[in-house]
Structure 1
Amino acid sequence: MSSPNFIDYVKICFRSGKGGAGAVHFHREKFVNKGGPDGGDGGRGGHIILRGNAQLWTLLHLKYRKHIRAEDGQPGGGNNKTGASGKDEIIEVPLGTIARDAETGEVLLEITQDGEEKILLPGGRGGLGNQHFKSATRQTPRYAQPGEPGIEKWIILELKILADVGLVGFPNAGKSTLLSVVSAAKPEIADYPFTTLTPNLGVVPYRDFQSFVMADIPGIIEGAAEGKGLGIRFLRHIERNSLLLFLVPADSPDIVAEYRTLLKELEKYNPELLDKKRILAISKADMLDKELEAEIRQTLPTDIPSIFISSITGKNLQPLKDLIWQQLHS
């Protein structure tokens, strides 16, 4: 999953339908001189509804829809006829989409399940017809309720991709190469920074026909939480990952310092990210001999599992999958 058409942020003005007005009407029938009130109720305005669709992975289909409106409810009629409800406007979104009030920043809802439907903006209620207002002292009410207005709001839709494992590392740490080797994903790979400009998703096959989803998040740099480099544009995708796999290349001047820098950027963005399970993988380990690997191992942090891997030679890739599976299910 990688494309220049990867859109994970849209801002749209939504308006739910207004309710139909109740009717003012009196019964008319041959031989009935003075029929009573029989004005029907107005119909409900259409809702704005978000529906999860597992076949979508981007908000591209909404990029050019700046105004979305649901239908208004129809007014009531005579003979106690209720007006038709306005048609709901159902917006299909990828799983992991959140809706946020553009003015206040408040999160209104999130969609995480395929087929899940949630009302973003409810339609206005229809007004009551004059039949509801008759009484012993007021037998011919000549008024009815108007329908409730719809709700109009600017809403931000943001996509936070859903994956079991999120790859975290500086540019050129080997994240895309690892994903291409352990899954069928084909991300762009080159020897310059920021090759990956959009998140990539890959399904990693495991033992006994099981699998887990791995996400390659575009490279983080020091200061990313303040907006440097690709900034916080993709940091939010890490929030939905169950496990964070930190990749630091074996040729890094200081492996532990690089890991601590990555950890610091995540903490500045969202301290809760540090509560996630973590694994440290030293990539490009084919460059190391046994003595140098043993020497580096002595310096690695002891509070998280660590492993030396090579996507080129396949070194320790199966043990890495075993470790990931164990962490995901512990």
Structure 2
Amino acid sequence: MPAPSTGVGAVAIWTSADQPGLGDQLLGRVIQQELLARLPGWRMTLCSPDGWRRPAVADGGLVAEPLRDRSPDELAAAATLTVVCSDDPFTLELATRLDPAHPVVPFGVREVPAVLAARAAFVAEADPAFLLDHVVGLETLPVRVAQLRQLGELPDGDYDVSEFPAGVVFEDRLAILSGARSVTTDDEHVAAACAALGVSCVGPAPRGSVTELRDELDRLAALAEKTLAEQGGDLGTRMAVLAEENHALRLAHWLLRERMLVERQRLVEPLAETWRERDEAVDEAAGLRDRNRELARQNEELAARLAHVESELSAWQGTKLVRWTRPLRDAYGKARG
């Protein structure tokens, strides 16, 4: 993790993005986007215990710095402020070993250890998932639902959700929630996402509200600016070029995700047609196999009847009447000929 540039603040956001849970993927992204809106030009670094060394399918290509590669002193020196939005025991314990002068804010953590709560600048309890619309375009979710149906991940018509299909990215998980009739979960982050999407949910009540979340984010941004000023950072000399580059890179990443959605649609349509043709071919092949079995049965029946007739003919030809009258029949045949 590089050291912060002179005059430019840096926030380290500790997540569990190397895990597949919806909250693992969602919380850090929301906090990052909200802080970027409040602190333009600041560098926001997402981190997780193993980071890019253990990518998860659900992360959608997110690049996170590995926390295990740095000492507590290095981590504290590389950021103006650290936000912890992970329930991972390693991450929570590591946060307690940072320099006591370094501000740490647990955000959306289910159970903050007493040691961490005692040294934290403050504890933010509202669930960041309330503002999920800032990290995914809600207008794209119906398109994703249609694609997931074409891929066989979702049934046609209404459906209920109690668990997610394996191997789908976090945007697809949000799409699955958005199209559900109802959701049953024991994950409060999923419950908060359902509240944000207006979907009926049976599960734990999410903590906080949108208003409380925004207030806590404002407080977090103010703390970051105050800390940078106390550390000698000149807020007036933040580099405009850096801010523009940051914005351009994040916009490019957003557009790339949108393009991936379009490209998947282009892939899904012919793939769905191919699957339809395959299903028709399978049905046709099954019909041909049934017809072949019927023909084989008829052939066996005819063969059995022929064998029976040949057996009766042979028995008839062996009777005394046939043998003794044969010379007479031969003579009669010659006379007629």
Structure holding more helix per residue: 2
Choose 1 or 2 for highest CA Rg: 2
